[in-house]
Structure 1
Amino acid sequence: MEKICWENSSYQDCNVVIIGIPDESQSHSLREGTSEAPERIRKISNLADSYNRDGKKSLGFPLNGISKKVFDYGDITRKQIPETFEKIIKDFKVPISIGGDHSLSATIIKQFSKTGKLSLVYFDAHPDFITSIKNYYGSVFGDVIEVIDVKTSMQIGIRTPEKEEMDNLKKFQILVISPFDIAEKGIVKISEQIMSTLGDNVYVSFDMDCIDPSHAPGVSVPVPFGISSVDAILLLKKIANHGIVGMDIVEVCPAYDVKDRTSHLASRMIGEVLSSLK
């Protein structure tokens, strides 16, 4: 199996662990194929984010470089999430996992919540706040609501909620930042709002459909009027610099991508987060 291009360390010495979870068993999407994302993102990271010169591999770094040591753990199954993340958390390493469908995030978040309530930053076009049904990719936020700090958690990029989700967001008074908020207020004010809301135990869950389909066409449920890739990554970098305990990137759907643009974007996002971690 190909490794992410940022991999340059052993597990023992690393600060950050990359984990693939090629599972879409709890997805209801008409577009299938998110289980192919971990392999594709790794492959594209090596093709597009590194260069071969005189037989040697040279990485294309983020502008301010990467100081963290990274280890690609390989792929795990859905059933292996609890034991794998228990080990990583115990070893004080930051996991960046690549899905797979978004339901995977709920199990990861619940594992992290054993160390205390989380400040959850949820990037998505959809709130995933269905509570009448459990344990699928549209109920993630509802499935973890009891283990997060609602006052310091937020949703970013939301633009297609169902009535039940709007009611739940209002009930729990979740901060919601839409693409229209960013366009109206500007990225500086929005980033200040996010930083002033965040707690200390921050976990980031990033559904790639948060980003506009013009930038990220290869997702399972694309929705118009999304966040630009630059705005999304700028916010990610600021949050990572604040400090995060972990992150996941989900819902990349390679079968519907255009010239691997979404997989490449996901790869670059990982690099920019690595360059910004405290």
Structure 2
Amino acid sequence: MKFEEVTPVRPGFGGFDFPYEKSQVVFLGVPLDITSSYRPGYRFAPAKIREASANIETYVMSAGVDVFEKLNISDLGDIVITPTDLKLTGEKITRVVKKILHDGKIPAVMGGEHTISYFVLKAFDDVTVIHLDAHRDLRDEYLGDRLCHATVMRRVLDQLPADRLIQLGVRSCSKDEAEFAENSGIRAYTSEHLIKEPEKIIANLKKIVKNSEVYLSIDLDVLDPAFAPGVSTPEPGGISTVELLRLLRELGKLNISGFDVVELVPPHDDGTTSFVAARIIYELLAALGSKKR
């Protein structure tokens, strides 16, 4: 299957690659690096995640699953970015994800800056978004832009009701964002909540979401900078890698219809965060694969 909006990349995620037609999960790299306001370099992230993924065991001990034995996985490659035109690039992202969904497959998207989530979610008809992030990303405008990494969830709410957004791990926002979230009734659990009472939060999420389709958007800065230093805007006070992996094992039991991992900035990473990103993805794939038993 060829997509004119995509440049093929080999080897793909994990170094394995099933034909698109036979795949259940389809990887898509989106090296978008247009609206960065602090530490740029998102454009190198998909390549680094793929590189790390080929150097990690595909057997996930916690699940007792070899990911590539349980799931047929293909990697389309990277969206062709038009650096001077965010709208045009976004249209490409939405078209490709719509095709993946239409073909009955789960899109696994590797950013790239968090702005990509808006364009990915435009491809979904009806979904609950679980957003893992240090920041709320609910500004209406930032540095003159209404659509950027700092406003992405506000723009998502232009197309989804507020009760379809759940934020996990948040610990930094502006006063305006806090007021908007409170007035809108957005559900949120801070990093401190996740550390102190993870089981209670998971139980609440399962009651809220039930059987509805879920999209996971994972900004790597949900982790404390000690565990993920190579992100655009590090925020102290985050959860650990172990805590995130435990959380994802439970979230992966929900009706996951797609996910993204975003905000890796390789020029500011020693390689640690790339491997964390790959491990996060394997954990999610293992949860999805466990359902195939």
TM-score, with structure 1 as normaliser = 0.90
Counterpart check, 1:69 vs 2:72: yes
| Cross-structure match for 1:197 | 208
Q: 1:17 aligns with which of 26, 33, 44?
A: 26
Q: Identify which range, 124-133 or 13-22, moves more after superposition.
A: 124-133
Look up the match of 2:277.
266
Partner of 1:100: 112
Over 3 Å counting, the alpha-carbon distance change for 1:154 and 1:72 in structure 2 is: same
User: Aligned residue for 2:247?
Assistant: 235
Q: Give CA deviations for 1:18-56 in whole Å, capped at 9, x if unaligned.
A: 11011111222x21111100001111211x31xxxxxxx
| Aligned pair partner of 1:45 in 53, 58, 75 | 53
Give the counterpart letter for 1:123 in structure 2.
L
Of 1, 6, 12, the residue aligned with 1:3 is 12
RMSD: 1.5
AA aligned opposite 2:73: V
Q: Per-residue deviation at 1:149?
A: 4.0
Aligned 8 A contact 1:15 1:70 in 2: yes
Instruction: Trace 1:173-184 onto structure 2 (pairs within 5 A).
Output: 173-184=185-196
Cα displacement string for residues 108-135 of structure 1 (whole angstroms, at most 9, x for unaligned residues): 11111xx22x211011100000114511
Number of equivalent positions: 262
Question: TM-score, normalization: structure 2?
Answer: 0.85
Q: Indicate the SS of the match to 1:247.
A: strand
Deviation of residue 179 (structure 1)?
A: 1.1
Shift of 1:6: 5.9
Amino acid at match of 2:60: P
Name the SS for the 1:274 alignment partner: helix
2:43 to 20, 35, 48: 35
Distance 2:58 2:110 in 1: 21
Q: State the identity %.
A: 30
Measure, in 2, the Cα distance between the counterparts of 1:100 and 1:147: 22
Mapped partners of 1:135, 1:182: distance in 2: 29
Q: Assess, with a 3 A threshold, how the Cα gap between structure 1 residues 122 and 6 changes in structure 2: closer, same or farther.
A: farther
Q: Match for residue 53 of structure 1? A: none
The amino acid across from 2:47 in the alignment is E
What SS is found at the alignment partner of 2:20?
coil
SS of 1:147 mapped into structure 2: coil
Deviation of the 1:152 alpha carbon: 4.2
**8 A Cα contact 1:119 1:150, kept in partner:** no
Mapped to 1, the partners of 2:266 and 2:94 lie a distance apart of: 27
Partner Cα separation in structure 2 for residue 119 and residue 60 of structure 1: 29
Q: d(CA) in 2 for partners of 1:214 and 1:274?
A: 25
For 1:274 and 1:228, how far apart are their aligned partners in 2?
20
